[in-house]
Amino acid sequence: MRNDRRTRSCVPLAIAVACMSVLGPFSSNAFAQAQPKPASASGAYKVPRTPDGKPDLQGYWTNLTYTPFERPQELGEKAFYTEREAVEVFAKAAKISLETDQLVHYFQADWAATPVQTGAKPNLRTSIVTSPANGRIPAFTPDAQKRVAAALASDKARGPLPLTWRDDRGTAWCIFHDRAVPSIPAPYGSNYHIVQSRYFIVMTYEWSSERRIIPLDGRPHGPAKMPSYVGNARGRWEGDTLVVETTNFNSNREFFGSPGTFTLVERFTRVSENTILHTSTVTDPTTWVSPWTYELPMQRIVGPMLEYACNENNQDAFTVLKNARAQERGELSAPDATRRGDSKAVINEHSEKGTAEVVGGKSE
Protein backbone atom coordinates (compact mmCIF):
# COMPACT_ATOMS: atom_id res chain seq x y z
CA MET A 1 0.00 0.00 0.00
CA ARG A 2 1.54 3.29 -1.07
CA ASN A 3 0.62 6.48 0.67
CA ASP A 4 2.05 9.67 2.15
CA ARG A 5 4.33 8.45 4.94
CA ARG A 6 5.25 10.89 7.66
CA THR A 7 7.56 10.70 10.62
CA ARG A 8 5.88 10.42 13.99
CA SER A 9 8.64 11.91 16.11
CA CYS A 10 7.02 15.34 15.88
CA VAL A 11 3.54 14.19 16.93
CA PRO A 12 3.74 14.86 20.71
CA LEU A 13 5.49 18.18 20.11
CA ALA A 14 2.93 19.20 17.53
CA ILE A 15 0.07 18.38 19.88
CA ALA A 16 1.70 20.38 22.65
CA VAL A 17 2.20 23.36 20.33
CA ALA A 18 -1.45 23.09 19.31
CA CYS A 19 -2.44 23.24 22.97
CA MET A 20 -0.49 26.43 23.56
CA SER A 21 -1.84 28.19 20.49
CA VAL A 22 -5.37 26.86 20.57
CA LEU A 23 -7.26 29.85 21.91
CA GLY A 24 -6.94 31.80 18.67
CA PRO A 25 -8.07 29.26 16.07
CA PHE A 26 -10.74 27.60 18.16
CA SER A 27 -13.22 30.40 18.44
CA SER A 28 -13.48 31.59 14.83
CA ASN A 29 -13.21 28.10 13.34
CA ALA A 30 -15.85 26.61 15.59
CA PHE A 31 -18.15 29.51 14.82
CA ALA A 32 -17.70 29.02 11.08
CA GLN A 33 -18.31 25.30 11.33
CA ALA A 34 -21.31 25.49 13.61
CA GLN A 35 -22.92 28.62 12.18
CA PRO A 36 -22.59 28.66 8.36
CA LYS A 37 -24.14 31.77 6.86
CA PRO A 38 -24.80 32.75 3.25
CA ALA A 39 -22.85 35.55 1.63
CA SER A 40 -24.28 39.00 2.16
CA ALA A 41 -23.72 42.56 1.04
CA SER A 42 -22.03 43.34 4.37
CA GLY A 43 -18.74 41.77 3.24
CA ALA A 44 -19.31 38.20 4.35
CA TYR A 45 -17.65 35.33 2.53
CA LYS A 46 -18.50 35.25 -1.18
CA VAL A 47 -18.85 31.70 -2.45
CA PRO A 48 -16.86 30.98 -5.64
CA ARG A 49 -19.04 29.67 -8.44
CA THR A 50 -18.75 27.42 -11.46
CA PRO A 51 -19.70 28.68 -14.96
CA ASP A 52 -23.27 27.42 -14.41
CA GLY A 53 -23.60 29.52 -11.25
CA LYS A 54 -23.39 26.78 -8.61
CA PRO A 55 -21.05 26.93 -5.58
CA ASP A 56 -17.62 25.59 -6.52
CA LEU A 57 -16.74 22.68 -4.22
CA GLN A 58 -13.78 21.50 -6.27
CA GLY A 59 -10.37 20.84 -4.79
CA TYR A 60 -8.64 18.66 -2.23
CA TRP A 61 -10.13 18.34 1.24
CA THR A 62 -9.68 16.38 4.47
CA ASN A 63 -12.16 15.54 7.23
CA LEU A 64 -9.61 14.48 9.83
CA THR A 65 -10.60 15.88 13.21
CA TYR A 66 -9.67 15.95 16.86
CA THR A 67 -13.31 15.51 17.87
CA PRO A 68 -14.57 12.10 19.07
CA PHE A 69 -17.38 10.57 17.03
CA GLU A 70 -19.70 10.15 20.04
CA ARG A 71 -19.79 12.48 23.04
CA PRO A 72 -18.46 11.17 26.35
CA GLN A 73 -21.50 10.25 28.42
CA GLU A 74 -20.44 12.39 31.36
CA LEU A 75 -20.87 15.53 29.20
CA GLY A 76 -24.60 14.92 28.73
CA GLU A 77 -26.03 17.45 26.26
CA LYS A 78 -23.03 19.79 26.39
CA ALA A 79 -22.43 20.39 22.67
CA PHE A 80 -19.40 22.69 22.93
CA TYR A 81 -16.38 23.08 25.17
CA THR A 82 -15.33 26.47 26.42
CA GLU A 83 -11.96 27.53 25.06
CA ARG A 84 -10.31 26.75 28.40
CA GLU A 85 -11.90 23.30 28.53
CA ALA A 86 -10.73 22.62 25.00
CA VAL A 87 -7.14 23.50 25.93
CA GLU A 88 -7.34 21.07 28.86
CA VAL A 89 -8.64 18.30 26.59
CA PHE A 90 -5.76 18.91 24.19
CA ALA A 91 -3.25 18.91 27.02
CA LYS A 92 -4.56 15.54 28.17
CA ALA A 93 -4.27 14.17 24.65
CA ALA A 94 -0.67 15.41 24.43
CA LYS A 95 0.15 13.75 27.76
CA ILE A 96 -1.30 10.43 26.60
CA SER A 97 0.67 10.70 23.36
CA LEU A 98 3.92 11.31 25.23
CA GLU A 99 3.29 8.40 27.61
CA THR A 100 2.57 5.95 24.78
CA ASP A 101 5.21 7.24 22.39
CA GLN A 102 7.49 4.24 22.95
CA LEU A 103 4.80 1.74 22.01
CA VAL A 104 4.73 0.51 18.44
CA HIS A 105 1.43 0.93 16.65
CA TYR A 106 0.92 0.28 12.97
CA PHE A 107 -0.77 3.53 12.04
CA GLN A 108 1.59 5.71 14.09
CA ALA A 109 4.84 3.92 13.30
CA ASP A 110 4.17 3.37 9.62
CA TRP A 111 1.92 6.19 8.50
CA ALA A 112 1.53 8.62 11.43
CA ALA A 113 -1.23 10.56 9.70
CA THR A 114 -2.39 12.47 12.75
CA PRO A 115 -4.73 15.46 12.70
CA VAL A 116 -1.81 17.67 13.75
CA GLN A 117 0.14 16.80 10.63
CA THR A 118 -2.60 16.68 8.03
CA GLY A 119 -4.43 19.98 8.14
CA ALA A 120 -7.25 19.19 10.58
CA LYS A 121 -8.48 22.25 12.43
CA PRO A 122 -9.61 22.08 16.06
CA ASN A 123 -13.09 23.21 17.05
CA LEU A 124 -15.11 23.38 20.23
CA ARG A 125 -17.55 20.56 19.51
CA THR A 126 -17.62 17.74 22.04
CA SER A 127 -18.70 15.14 19.45
CA ILE A 128 -19.06 14.65 15.73
CA VAL A 129 -22.61 13.39 16.30
CA THR A 130 -24.83 16.46 16.69
CA SER A 131 -28.31 14.89 16.89
CA PRO A 132 -29.76 13.52 19.13
CA ALA A 133 -28.90 16.11 21.74
CA ASN A 134 -26.71 13.75 23.77
CA GLY A 135 -24.28 13.47 20.85
CA ARG A 136 -24.54 9.69 20.70
CA ILE A 137 -25.90 7.17 18.19
CA PRO A 138 -29.50 6.23 19.14
CA ALA A 139 -30.37 2.92 20.73
CA PHE A 140 -31.02 -0.18 18.64
CA THR A 141 -34.55 -1.34 17.99
CA PRO A 142 -35.46 -4.68 19.65
CA ASP A 143 -35.01 -6.53 16.35
CA ALA A 144 -31.64 -4.89 15.78
CA GLN A 145 -30.51 -5.83 19.29
CA LYS A 146 -31.20 -9.49 18.48
CA ARG A 147 -29.49 -9.23 15.10
CA VAL A 148 -26.38 -7.56 16.49
CA ALA A 149 -26.17 -10.00 19.41
CA ALA A 150 -26.36 -12.94 17.00
CA ALA A 151 -23.65 -11.43 14.79
CA LEU A 152 -21.38 -10.86 17.78
CA ALA A 153 -21.92 -14.42 18.98
CA SER A 154 -21.08 -15.72 15.52
CA ASP A 155 -17.92 -13.62 15.35
CA LYS A 156 -16.85 -14.78 18.79
CA ALA A 157 -17.38 -18.42 17.87
CA ARG A 158 -15.44 -18.01 14.64
CA GLY A 159 -12.60 -16.05 16.22
CA PRO A 160 -10.90 -12.86 15.02
CA LEU A 161 -9.62 -14.42 11.78
CA PRO A 162 -11.77 -14.59 8.64
CA LEU A 163 -12.25 -18.27 7.84
CA THR A 164 -13.06 -17.80 4.16
CA TRP A 165 -12.87 -15.04 1.59
CA ARG A 166 -16.56 -14.33 2.22
CA ASP A 167 -15.95 -13.41 5.87
CA ASP A 168 -14.08 -10.20 5.08
CA ARG A 169 -16.21 -7.16 4.26
CA GLY A 170 -13.87 -5.97 1.53
CA THR A 171 -11.06 -4.24 3.43
CA ALA A 172 -8.38 -6.95 3.30
CA TRP A 173 -9.24 -7.65 -0.32
CA CYS A 174 -8.92 -3.96 -1.25
CA ILE A 175 -12.48 -3.96 -2.59
CA PHE A 176 -13.84 -1.20 -0.38
CA HIS A 177 -12.98 0.76 2.76
CA ASP A 178 -16.07 1.38 4.83
CA ARG A 179 -15.12 4.89 5.99
CA ALA A 180 -15.57 6.29 2.50
CA VAL A 181 -19.39 6.26 2.41
CA PRO A 182 -20.78 7.29 4.85
CA SER A 183 -17.78 9.52 5.43
CA ILE A 184 -16.00 8.78 8.72
CA PRO A 185 -12.51 10.08 9.59
CA ALA A 186 -9.90 7.36 9.10
CA PRO A 187 -6.47 6.91 10.74
CA TYR A 188 -4.84 7.91 7.46
CA GLY A 189 -5.76 8.77 3.90
CA SER A 190 -8.91 10.57 5.01
CA ASN A 191 -8.73 12.96 2.09
CA TYR A 192 -11.03 13.79 -0.81
CA HIS A 193 -10.71 15.15 -4.32
CA ILE A 194 -13.89 16.79 -5.65
CA VAL A 195 -14.44 17.41 -9.37
CA GLN A 196 -17.63 19.16 -10.46
CA SER A 197 -19.63 19.80 -13.63
CA ARG A 198 -23.18 20.88 -14.41
CA TYR A 199 -24.52 17.32 -14.40
CA PHE A 200 -22.18 15.37 -12.11
CA ILE A 201 -20.01 15.67 -9.03
CA VAL A 202 -17.25 13.09 -8.52
CA MET A 203 -15.76 12.57 -5.06
CA THR A 204 -12.61 10.45 -4.89
CA TYR A 205 -11.61 9.13 -1.48
CA GLU A 206 -7.86 8.67 -1.00
CA TRP A 207 -8.12 5.53 1.13
CA SER A 208 -8.74 2.83 -1.52
CA SER A 209 -9.31 5.45 -4.26
CA GLU A 210 -13.07 4.97 -3.91
CA ARG A 211 -15.04 7.16 -6.31
CA ARG A 212 -18.59 8.39 -5.92
CA ILE A 213 -20.14 9.53 -9.19
CA ILE A 214 -23.14 11.64 -8.19
CA PRO A 215 -25.64 12.63 -10.92
CA LEU A 216 -27.24 16.06 -10.57
CA ASP A 217 -29.72 15.75 -13.44
CA GLY A 218 -32.77 14.58 -11.48
CA ARG A 219 -32.65 10.94 -12.52
CA PRO A 220 -34.31 8.45 -10.11
CA HIS A 221 -32.40 6.05 -7.90
CA GLY A 222 -31.36 2.75 -9.43
CA PRO A 223 -33.31 -0.45 -8.69
CA ALA A 224 -33.03 -1.96 -5.22
CA LYS A 225 -31.88 -5.24 -6.77
CA MET A 226 -28.59 -3.54 -7.75
CA PRO A 227 -26.95 -2.61 -4.41
CA SER A 228 -23.31 -1.58 -4.08
CA TYR A 229 -20.72 -0.86 -1.40
CA VAL A 230 -21.01 2.91 -1.92
CA GLY A 231 -24.76 2.86 -2.47
CA ASN A 232 -26.69 4.68 -5.17
CA ALA A 233 -26.27 8.46 -4.88
CA ARG A 234 -28.41 11.22 -6.36
CA GLY A 235 -27.62 14.91 -5.87
CA ARG A 236 -29.50 18.19 -6.13
CA TRP A 237 -28.91 21.82 -5.22
CA GLU A 238 -30.97 23.50 -2.52
CA GLY A 239 -29.81 27.10 -2.76
CA ASP A 240 -26.06 27.03 -2.19
CA THR A 241 -26.09 23.62 -0.51
CA LEU A 242 -25.44 20.36 -2.35
CA VAL A 243 -27.81 17.66 -1.05
CA VAL A 244 -26.89 14.04 -1.78
CA GLU A 245 -29.26 11.16 -0.97
CA THR A 246 -27.77 7.67 -1.07
CA THR A 247 -29.64 4.36 -0.87
CA ASN A 248 -29.15 0.75 -2.04
CA PHE A 249 -26.13 -0.22 0.06
CA ASN A 250 -25.33 -3.90 -0.13
CA SER A 251 -25.70 -6.28 2.81
CA ASN A 252 -21.94 -6.36 3.43
CA ARG A 253 -22.06 -2.68 4.38
CA GLU A 254 -22.42 -2.97 8.13
CA PHE A 255 -22.56 0.57 9.53
CA PHE A 256 -22.88 0.93 13.29
CA GLY A 257 -25.18 -2.09 13.37
CA SER A 258 -27.12 -1.46 10.16
CA PRO A 259 -26.66 -4.20 7.52
CA GLY A 260 -26.73 -1.75 4.62
CA THR A 261 -30.44 -0.95 5.02
CA PHE A 262 -29.89 2.70 5.92
CA THR A 263 -30.52 5.85 3.90
CA LEU A 264 -27.91 8.60 3.94
CA VAL A 265 -28.70 12.28 3.30
CA GLU A 266 -25.66 14.57 3.12
CA ARG A 267 -25.39 18.34 2.85
CA PHE A 268 -22.27 20.12 1.58
CA THR A 269 -22.07 23.89 2.13
CA ARG A 270 -19.03 26.02 1.30
CA VAL A 271 -18.70 28.32 4.33
CA SER A 272 -15.23 29.78 3.76
CA GLU A 273 -12.33 29.67 1.35
CA ASN A 274 -10.89 26.66 3.17
CA THR A 275 -13.94 24.95 4.70
CA ILE A 276 -16.90 22.90 3.48
CA LEU A 277 -19.46 22.09 6.16
CA HIS A 278 -20.52 18.47 5.62
CA THR A 279 -23.49 17.11 7.58
CA SER A 280 -24.90 13.59 7.27
CA THR A 281 -28.26 12.25 8.47
CA VAL A 282 -28.58 8.47 8.75
CA THR A 283 -32.00 6.77 8.85
CA ASP A 284 -32.79 3.08 9.31
CA PRO A 285 -36.02 2.25 11.20
CA THR A 286 -34.99 -1.41 11.27
CA THR A 287 -31.82 -0.59 13.23
CA TRP A 288 -32.14 2.60 15.32
CA VAL A 289 -35.06 4.06 17.24
CA SER A 290 -34.57 7.43 15.52
CA PRO A 291 -32.51 9.06 12.75
CA TRP A 292 -29.22 10.67 13.75
CA THR A 293 -26.97 13.37 12.32
CA TYR A 294 -23.27 14.06 12.43
CA GLU A 295 -21.17 16.99 11.25
CA LEU A 296 -17.70 16.88 9.68
CA PRO A 297 -16.06 20.11 8.49
CA MET A 298 -13.86 19.45 5.45
CA GLN A 299 -10.66 21.51 5.39
CA ARG A 300 -8.79 22.42 2.23
CA ILE A 301 -5.43 20.70 1.79
CA VAL A 302 -2.68 20.88 -0.80
CA GLY A 303 -3.06 18.32 -3.58
CA PRO A 304 -2.67 16.13 -5.40
CA MET A 305 -3.54 13.00 -3.46
CA LEU A 306 -1.06 10.16 -3.68
CA GLU A 307 -2.10 6.88 -5.23
CA TYR A 308 -3.44 4.39 -2.71
CA ALA A 309 -2.03 1.24 -4.30
CA CYS A 310 -3.81 -1.14 -1.96
CA ASN A 311 -3.14 -4.34 -3.88
CA GLU A 312 0.52 -3.57 -4.52
CA ASN A 313 2.25 -6.47 -2.75
CA ASN A 314 -0.86 -6.93 -0.60
CA GLN A 315 -0.43 -10.07 1.52
CA ASP A 316 -3.49 -9.65 3.73
CA ALA A 317 -5.90 -11.96 1.95
CA PHE A 318 -3.47 -14.86 1.70
CA THR A 319 -2.17 -14.28 5.25
CA VAL A 320 -5.47 -14.23 7.11
CA LEU A 321 -6.80 -17.29 5.29
CA LYS A 322 -3.56 -19.21 5.86
CA ASN A 323 -3.86 -18.42 9.57
CA ALA A 324 -7.48 -19.58 9.53
CA ARG A 325 -6.45 -22.95 8.10
CA ALA A 326 -3.79 -23.23 10.80
CA GLN A 327 -6.38 -22.36 13.44
CA GLU A 328 -8.70 -25.09 12.16
CA ARG A 329 -5.88 -27.65 12.40
CA GLY A 330 -5.19 -26.57 15.97
CA GLU A 331 -1.75 -25.28 15.03
CA LEU A 332 -2.38 -21.66 15.95
CA SER A 333 -2.13 -21.42 19.72
CA ALA A 334 -3.26 -17.80 20.08
CA PRO A 335 -6.36 -16.86 18.03
CA ASP A 336 -5.36 -13.20 18.16
CA ALA A 337 -1.80 -13.80 17.01
CA THR A 338 -2.10 -11.59 13.96
CA ARG A 339 -3.34 -8.70 16.07
CA ARG A 340 -0.10 -8.83 18.05
CA GLY A 341 2.07 -8.80 14.96
CA ASP A 342 2.90 -12.55 15.07
CA SER A 343 1.50 -13.37 11.64
CA LYS A 344 4.88 -13.77 9.95
CA ALA A 345 5.84 -16.61 12.28
CA VAL A 346 2.55 -18.36 11.57
CA ILE A 347 2.94 -17.91 7.82
CA ASN A 348 6.51 -19.19 7.79
CA GLU A 349 5.55 -22.22 9.85
CA HIS A 350 2.86 -23.22 7.37
CA SER A 351 4.33 -21.88 4.13
CA GLU A 352 4.38 -25.30 2.54
CA LYS A 353 0.56 -25.39 2.37
CA GLY A 354 -0.98 -24.67 -0.99
CA THR A 355 -3.22 -21.83 -2.11
CA ALA A 356 -6.19 -24.13 -2.72
CA GLU A 357 -6.23 -25.22 0.91
CA VAL A 358 -5.91 -21.64 2.11
CA VAL A 359 -8.83 -20.36 0.05
CA GLY A 360 -11.04 -23.37 0.70
CA GLY A 361 -11.75 -23.86 4.38
CA LYS A 362 -14.37 -25.87 6.18
CA SER A 363 -17.14 -23.30 5.95
CA GLU A 364 -17.15 -23.02 2.17
- Per the model's pLDDT, the better-predicted residue between 217 and 175 turns out to be 217
In this predicted structure, what is the pLDDT of residue 165? 67
In a domain, 352, yes or no: yes
293 and 151 share a domain?
Answer: yes
Let me know whether 147 and 214 are in one domain.
yes
Domain count of the fold of the chain: 2
For residue 300, the cross-strand partners are 61
Domain identity same for 206 and 324: no
The string of DSSP letters for 99-116 reads: HTTTS--HIIIII---TT
Please check whether residues 160 and 295 belong to one and the same domain. Answer: yes
The verdict on residue 34 lying in a domain is no
Q: Which pLDDT tens digit goes with each residue over 44-75?
A: 899 999 999 999 999 999 998 878 899 999 99
Tell me, rounded to whole angstroms, the distance of Cα 356 from its chain centroid: 34
Q: Is 269 a member of any domain?
A: yes
Output the CA torsion sign for 122, 124, 126, 130: negative
The answer to whether residues 253 and 326 belong to one domain is no
* 169 plus 271 within the same structural domain: yes
Q: Are residues 295 and 155 in the same domain?
A: yes
Q: How far apart are the first and last CA of the chain?
A: 29
If asked whether residues 283 and 258 sit together in one domain, one would say: yes
Kindly give the interhelix angle for 83-99 and 11-20, rounded to the nearest 10 degrees. 160
Integer Cα distance of 318 and 316 in angstroms: 6
Residue of 202, 205, 179 lying closest to 192 (CA atoms): 205
Could you tell me if residue 131 is inside a domain?
Answer: no
| Whether 257 and 341 share a structural domain | no
CATH number at residue 251: 2.40.128
Cα separation, 191 vs 180, in Å, equals 10
Domain of residue 202 covers 142-300
* 284 occurs within a structural domain: yes
Last residue of one domain, picked from the residues 267, 300, 333: 300
> Whole-number mean pLDDT of the chain?
76
Q: Is residue 233 part of a domain?
A: yes
Query: Is residue 217 situated within a structural domain?
Result: yes
Residue 314: pLDDT band with limits 50, 70, 90: confident
Confidence of residue 193 (pLDDT cuts 50, 70, 90): very high
Mean pLDDT of 69-89: 93
pTM recorded for the entire structure: 0.77
Beta bridge partners of 277: 269, 297
Position 270, amino acid: R
Q: Is residue 289 domain-shared with residue 253, that is, in the same domain?
A: yes
> Which pLDDT score, from 0 to 100, does residue 258 have?
94
- Considering 276, 300, 324, which residue would you say is the last residue of a domain? 300
Q: Is residue 243 part of a domain?
A: yes
Strands 263-272 and 59-62: unpaired
Determine the Cα angle at 99 with ends 22 and 2, to 5°. 80
Q: Mind listing the pLDDT tens digit for each residue in 105-153? A: 444 434 444 544 455 667 899 999 999 999 999 999 999 999 999 988 8
The verdict on 215 and 287 lying in the same domain is yes
Same domain, 276 and 351: no
Range picked from 94-98, 149-153, 206-210, 314-318 for highest mean pLDDT: 149-153
| Low-confidence winner among 178-192, 275-289, 320-334 (lowest mean pLDDT) | 320-334
- The alpha-carbon radius of gyration of the chain (Å, integer) is 22
pLDDT of residue 99: 60
